[in-house]
Every structure is written in structure tokens, then in C-alpha cells.
Amino acid sequence: MVKIGVLISGSGSNLQSIIDSINKKYIFAQITVVLSDRKNAFGLERARMENIPAIFLSKKEAGNNDDFNSKLVEILKNYQVDLVVLAGFLSILNPNFVKTFKNKILNIHPSLIPSFCGDGFYGLKVHEAAIKQGVKITGATVHFVDEGTDTGPILLQKSLEVLPNDTAETLQKRVLTLEHELLPLAVKLFCENKIQFIENGKTTKVLVLNN
């Protein structure tokens, strides 16, 4: 059984979508630990309600980002994690973390990458930028994490129409429904070994296998 570690910073609604999918037998896996860089993140409470180990790790107490990342890696290894899922995790992962879990880190982003992504694009800011730009279509993306910000191989995307009366807040809520659909599917594909990585020079692409 695939063991999953989920990293969060906030309410953990995407974490909940994975928990629900496991409980419904849609995903055959086990979340062995939930980690947060924010002590009061409600996602930790969601984990505790499911008897999943929930750990707050202070960046301030860690001293610097590299030490913080090293501690994250140590905890994830202690819980024998096979797949790391970033479900609204706002801290920066360093190259050592990415190397340790190469091709085993999934992230959900609330736009159609490469639009409205990269440094500074997170949370409501993504949707504010979409509204300001006047785009007609937006969506959500699940991708594997590399050393860049939102630059890793794309696994899944789904779009929706931006409505004339949408605000950043209403758009965020509608895109979140896509996130809750895509992230469990991505985890399911990983757990069922239906993902193939295709290396082409410095570029990596992802192929979803049918069988």
C-alpha cells in the first residue's frame, strides 16, 4: 500500500478530498502523516479527526529554510512516505527535498499552468490576477514538483469558464471544486502505477497509462 505524506498550510480542504477518497475506496493508500508550517492550520485538525498523525513544524525554530527542509525530509522518511502531496503548502522546498523525493511530489495549483503561476502566485492572488487580466478560461493543474516554482511536469488539468460577474472570491470557490476532483485522481493514478515519465534532454513530460 502506498504511504502518503500531505503538507498543508491552511484549511486542508484538498487534504479532506484525499481522505474522503481513501475512505470511499476510490484510492487504495494510507496517509501516514500530515505536516503543516502553521500551528493553527485547520488541516491538522482534519487529520486528527481521522487519527492521522498531525505535526506542526516551525520554520522559526528550525532556524533556516535548509534546516526546515531537512526536518521535513526526516519526518517523512520516519513515516516511510512513498508520495508527498502538497495541498496548499506555502513554504519553499529546497533542491535536496526535491531530489530526495524525485518524481514523488504532487502539487495542486489553482490555474492552468503556465498561466498565473510561479513566484508570488498563490491562493487568492492567482484569481485576482485572472480577473484583472480578463481571461475567459481558467482552471486547476496537478503537476510534479521540480526545483522551480510551478515548473514541474504537468499531470492533469481541467478548465472552467470565467463568468462575467465572477470576483476573485467566487472564482476561487469554483476552481476549488476542480481541485477536489483533480488531486484525488492524480493520487489514484500514482498509487496504481499509471504514470510514466518521459525524459527528453532537460525536459520531462508525464504520460498517463490506460492499462
The whole-angstrom separation of Cα 99 and Cα 115 is 26
**Selected catalytic residue, list 109, 127, 143, 180:** 109
| C-alpha span between 118 and 126 (Å, rounded) | 10
Number of CB atoms found within 10 A of residue 68's CB = 22
The DSSP code for 195 is E
Q: Could you confirm whether 109 is annotated as catalytic?
A: yes
Q: Look up cell 508570488; give the residue.
A: 120
Residue 105 sits at φ, ψ, to 5 deg, of -125, 115
DSSP H helical ranges for the chain: 13-23, 42-49, 59-62, 65-78, 95-100, 124-133, 168-191
Rounded Cα distance between 153 and 175, Å, is 21
Q: Are 41 and 13 in contact (CB under 8 A)?
A: no
Q: Are 35 and 57 in contact (CB under 8 A)?
A: yes
Rounded CA-CA distance 175/167 in Å is: 12
| Residues with active-site annotation | 109
